Amino acid sequence: MSDTPPGNPLSRGDKRPPSRPGPSSAAFTTSLTQEGRLDPALAECAAVSVITALLRNLELDEDQEPQGHLMRKLVEFLPTRDAGKDSPEPIAGQEALFTCVARELRLDVSAVEPLVRTVFQTLRGLLSEGECQDVERSLSWDLHYLWRRTQ
């Protein structure tokens, strides 16, 4: 028997297996596929790559609210729960993000900006105004500018 109360978010009955997508993941990928007119497999890979990069920038403040809440919400959009654990360093700027995404998707760096913008735009549509502002605060100036241009 668990010593965590049943209604607690940490109780065993409420935990989802790490490899199973969350309910928001499918909706996010579908939205990304439709808005960006992307192949579903490419949309999923782009989402994982970009969201994981955003999470790395938020990890410095994960114990503080609202960043902790925002991290949990962004993780809900990921198709898998353990994506991106191998590279914990924050993304230093736009070029670093594009290079990281291009490497993970095996694309040319020049081809990933539209993908990143589409992921940002889809995220903006699913996050609250306050959550979008929290994301902005975690970004370097050039990524902040790119994030704002997707409004």
- Residues (pLDDT < 70) of the chain are 1-23, 58-68, 79-88
CATH numbers and ranges of domains, the chain: 21-80+88-149 (1.10.490.110)
* Range 33-39 contact pairs with CB under 8 angstroms and sequence separation of 24 or more: 35/118, 35/121, 35/122, 35/125, 36/114, 36/115, 36/118, 36/119, 36/122, 38/115, 38/118
Give the model confidence (pLDDT) of 105-137 as tens digits: 999 999 999 999 999 998 888 888 988 888 888
